[in-house]
Structure 1
Amino acid sequence: MKQPELRFVANHGIEETAVLKVTDYNVSFDDVLLENVNFEIKSTDKVALIGSNGTGKTTLLREIFKNKHPSIEVNKDLTMAYLSQVQDEILNESHTILEEFYAAGFKTVQEIRSYISNLRYRQHR
């Protein structure tokens, strides 16, 4: 199963800046999953989120992406991208890949190609 991926992108160079701060985050459904979670991620950090299934990892990532939880503060100079492990949460199955790029805010095919080239994918002919 693919794991969710969260990527932070800055429009300008930043060094050793806090990109994400979580303070006293709690989440529960039938049981408490996460309680009093506190951490800070800096622009130069590499982070892995590890835990058993059903412990709140995906819920925390979704909350970070939504950036509306009072315990979560994302640097305002950053843009986030979120790849859900459940693709139907974010993709419209009736769209082509190109239509999904347009729905995500890309304006031209050239802009899409430029973005994809930065990911280092190669076009095979």
Structure 2
Amino acid sequence: MQNNSLGKQIIRLRQKQQLSQAKLAERLFVSRQAISKWENGEAEPDLDKLVQLSQIFNVDLDYLVLNHPMHQASILTLSKIRKKYQQPILRDVSFSLHNHERVALLGSNGAGKTTLVNLIAGRIRPDSGTIQRNYQPQLEFSLMPQQNVLIGPMRVQEMIELEVSISQLKTVDVPELLKRANLWDQRNQVIGSLSGGQKRKLMFLLTVIKPAQLFIFDEPTVGMDLETIDRFWQHLDQITGATLVITHDFNQIDHYFDRVLLLREGVITADERVATIHAHNQNLDTWYRQHNQTPEVSYE
């Protein structure tokens, strides 16, 4: 019988992500019996499978195998960010993102979420405050904006091949990518003629086609049908690196994200671990409504 500390770690991480043995086995291309043996300490995965497990669970290998504390290096730090147009949009925004974190950014329409994303992306500058980026913005950052940024007259496969060429991704199999993204049948279709959901699928594929230290997705599932939304979350679940997602899909926040930030009236008014919210017998929908409600005004 082998040491079962790794097995217990696999069980814990699998249950945290609500993955059944069968589902994990499917993603690793092994039998369910193999997963069961790993978890019972009767066998151990080889190095390739350990690497795959760390990617699926989005954790360090040292954390997976030895249960060492995760290295929480800061990927991005914002300090006292202010931005004003005709009126203040961001008043005093401060927070940090760390490697391997999956963070949901919540807030009502007009709260300043997209402005914040544009500041992080370097599209606009803050009026005051600092942004520290511990990654190479041109090489290790990828953004899926709320509005699709696509070249309408191009064909789908041409657009993918262009991104592969620009990013110098020599080992990428474009046909395989299109099949996995369920866009193979549209490969020769002009982008401008795609449906809204198909454009979002293509935009997602262009965003994740290269590895990055930080991914940001701004309302990524808008316009997608339910089947495509499910596929989106499945693909997103396989991304390594830090992710910041603007979304109100509370069911997915509950089981996908580590942490939630609430932007309200230009300030981060709440920053909480998802596990802490659940420990207080709340779901994300209830937590959001409680923290985002406008106080009643008394006229007495």
Higher-Rg member (1/2):
2
For residues 77 and 144 of structure 2, the distance between their equivalents in structure 1, rounded to whole angstroms, comes to 20
Between structures 1 and 2, the one with greater helix share? 2
1:66 counterpart residue number: 122
Task: Give the SS at the match of 1:22.
Answer: strand
- Tell me which residue corresponds to 1:86: 147
Query: CA separation of 1:115/1:75 partners in 2, compared to 1, >3 Å: closer, same or farther?
Result: farther
Do the aligned partners of residues 37 and 114 (structure 1) sit closer, same or farther apart at CA in structure 2, a change above 3 Å counting?
farther
Within-5 A mapping of 1:20-59: 20-59=76-115
Measured in 2, the distance between the counterparts of 1:115 and 1:29 equals 45
Distance 1:76 1:124 in 2: 33
* CA pair 68-58 structure 1, distance change in 2 beyond 3 A: closer
TM-score scaled by length of structure 1: 0.66
3-state SS of paired residue (1:116): helix
Identity %: 22
Is 75-84 or 36-45 further displaced after alignment? 75-84
Is 1:95 paired with 2:154? yes
1:113 maps to amino acid: V
Runs of 4+ with deviation above 6 angstroms:
122-125
Cα distance in 1 for residues equivalent to 2:113 and 2:90 = 9
Instruction: Give, in whole Å, the separation in 1 of the partners of 2:123 and 2:73.
Output: 18
Q: How many residues get paired?
A: 109
Q: Distance in 2 between matches of 1:22 and 1:62?
A: 13
Gaps of at least 5 residues in structure 2 are 1-60, 62-69, 186-300
Contact 2:135 2:141 in 1 (8 A): no
State the 1:71 CA deviation.
Answer: 2.1
Q: Relative to structure 2, which stretch is displaced further, 28-37 or 60-69?
A: 60-69
Quick one: distance in 1 between partners of 2:145 and 2:81?
Answer: 21
Give the conservation status (yes or no) of the 8 Å contact 2:160–2:174. Answer: no
Higher mean displacement: 90-99 or 69-78: 69-78
Q: Secondary structure at the match of 2:100?
A: coil
Cα root mean square deviation, aligned: 3.4
Indicate which of 103, 116, 125 corresponds to 2:177. Answer: 116
Higher relative contact order (CA 8 A, sep 6+): 1
SS in structure 1 opposite 2:104? coil
